[in-house]
Amino acid sequence: MLLDTPKSVDHLHRQIAVSQSKGEFNSRHDYDSVMIAVLMLYAIGAVEPTEAGSIRKCV
């Protein structure tokens, strides 16, 4: 999974870009769409920021 460990949004975007290059996604996900997804996940309490500035899944 993409957020098994805390990651920065930049690192998360790079992982998604690698998956896209392998054909694992049917559509493109640019940095803006990843950021919007992270914000939506934060709004519903699915992710939270860490003290180091990364994001992690809420348990």
Measured distance CA(58)–CA(46) in Å, rounded = 5
Specify the pLDDT at position 46. 96
What digits encode the pLDDT tens for the residues 30-39?
Answer: 999 999 999 9
- pTM, two decimal places: 0.83
What digits encode the pLDDT tens for the residues 7-58?
Answer: 999 999 999 999 989 988 888 889 999 999 999 999 999 999 999 999 999 9
Specify the pLDDT at position 59. 78
